[in-house]
Amino acid sequence: MRPQKRILVLLLALFMLVTTFVACTTPGSQGGETGTNTQQVTDGNDDTTDADSTGDTSGVIGDVPVIPENLTFDGRTFRFITSPLSGSDYDELYLDFEGEATDTISEAVYRRNSAVEEQLDILFEVLHTNDYYEVVSTIIEMNLSEYPYYDAAYATANSIGPAATEGHFIDLNRLDYVDFEADYWDSNCHEALSMGHRNYMMVGDISMSVYGRAHTIIFNQQMLKDAKVTKDPYALVEANEWTFDKMLEMVRLTAKPNGDGVQDEHDIYGLYNLNIMGTLGSFDFSLTGKDSDDFPTMFELTDTFFNAFQMLREVNFDPTLHFIPQTMLSVTDFGDWGHMWDWVRGNMFTNDQITFMYGSFDSIKLLTNMASDYGVVPNPMLNTEQERYQCMIDPYVNFLCVPITNGDNAFTGAVLEYMAYVSRDTVREEYIETFLKYRQNRDEKMQAMVDIIFDSMHYEVSDLFALGIRDLIDAASGDGSLQSKYDGRKTIYAENVQALKDLFELLDELQKPITPDTDA
């Protein structure tokens, strides 16, 4: 049987199991552990550098991939498919660049891509779809055809997960040469999103999408000074005292209704864009644990969790404190802002009408013309007993994945590993150390916050595999019935996890090597 025909047959078999899994949800051979394939280089004169390491490692500090130095691919094309090149915050991938390399990040992308092409003797080709959800749908169509084309993809994380359960992506742990413990991959992501010791999506230094969209708090420094706040969020973070209660005190202090009896865009608010699910994640509540088989388990509804949920719900629906544009904004024409969310950021926050807003580093580009100073800090902790700050990852950002029709683990693994490695000292260095810390901030204190935020990124597996936890929290946020909805969900959740285990057993058949068509 031809490889693609075998895939089609198995995908159809999977569909029967997937139907069982989907029916349990609310509407709306096992992969091996990743081995250590890198070595540590401490300075440019380290005599212990492995002779098999690819490329010149002189001057490198950090992990170095172990790829045979003479490994090349005779000009073969490596093809990415990903979201649109421009037009959305979620599209800042930096896989390639538009037009000439006229800014420093584009120049870093050019240097990175050129180095990988030269070292491995390959050519990059990147297809940008018209819509960021179109990536996965295109891959699914390709998988069901007899003409595999793309080697890898960057797609929205919450679309990769469900498609992975249908057999459309490979277990990345099977790629040759790749070491997800290396410092140019996010080992935290690898551990958190593992499903039965399988990983279908990954974050590393190839793309900056995740870093740009990590959840943060952006605050108006001038409004806090006017309110005579003596210990601002920066000082609280440094003292490990930045908690939601502390932020709420400032929210109450600075919110000022104008007295006309209508809460709309003409009032002053303490808070904007509160996300209950994301904030619970920042409180160090892991909404999913792991069982002995490395599959998700549902969180326990403790008194602490319930009380935190109730507190957030009260703040969320207090119209004197929290601005909700869906119900409070009278403006209907958002002009160049595109949608209500950015209109509020670009108009109300910049006009000193909002003290704190949940956002991301990508949100800062909307504040270019803001007269008052702003600051950026991690999401607050629940209390000072929390061990670290924790910033949820936006489920709509782009993650790396590899289509099931790509059976060449050596080619794909070598390219992705070397690309991530070179990215660390080019694209990541330019984006984080130069752009975020210096070009896009207004004070030195924000530079330290960048590192704290990136060290606290939290990946919620239930968000990315559509396990229904967000549905539960969102529904309970509306009517307050968290306990009853939790009780009703527990059995369904257990059935979904068992269905996942059955799915992934069959998926192992799909992961068997397929002879690649190198003439494509």
Token couple for 73: 């691919």
Lowest mean pLDDT among 63-67, 190-194, 468-472, 507-511: 507-511
pLDDT at position 520 over 60: no
What are 169-180's pLDDT values in tens digits?
A: 999 999 999 999
Mean pLDDT of 481-505: 87
**Which residue spans within 380-458 are E strands per DSSP?**
391-392, 398-401, 457-458
Flag whether the pTM goes above 0.95. no
Question: Which has the higher per-residue pLDDT, 255 or 519?
Answer: 255
Percentage of residues in the chain having pLDDT higher than 90: 63
Question: Which has the higher per-residue pLDDT, 94 or 80?
Answer: 80
Contact between residue 50 and residue 177 where contact means Cβ atoms under 8 Å apart: no
What are 161-203's pLDDT values in tens digits?
A: 999 988 899 999 999 999 999 999 999 999 999 999 999 999 9
Q: What is the mean pLDDT of the chain?
A: 86
The one-character DSSP state at 72 is: -
pLDDT given for residue 365 in this prediction = 87
The count of C-alpha atoms lying within 13 angstroms of the C-alpha of 224, restricted to the half-sphere facing its C-beta, is 23
Contact between residue 364 and residue 220 where contact means Cβ atoms under 8 Å apart: no
What are 265-292's pLDDT values in tens digits?
A: 999 999 999 999 999 999 988 788 899 9
Contact between residue 360 and residue 212 where contact means Cβ atoms under 8 Å apart: yes
pLDDT at position 467 over 60: yes
pLDDT given for residue 43 in this prediction = 44
Quick check: helix, strand or coil at residue 462?
helix
Residues 6+ apart with CB under 8 A from 214: 360, 361, 391, 392, 393, 394, 453, 454, 457
Question: Which has the higher per-residue pLDDT, 92 or 515?
Answer: 92
Report the amino acid identity of residue 246: K
pLDDT at position 23 over 50: no
Q: How far apart are CA 11 and CA 378, in angstroms?
A: 42
Split at pLDDT 50, 70, 90, the class of 381 is very high
Mean pLDDT of 437-456: 89
Report the amino acid identity of residue 111: R
What are 34-72's pLDDT values in tens digits?
A: 445 665 544 444 443 343 455 555 556 789 999 998 999
Mean pLDDT of 309-328: 96
Residues 6+ apart with CB under 8 A from 366: 342, 345, 346, 350
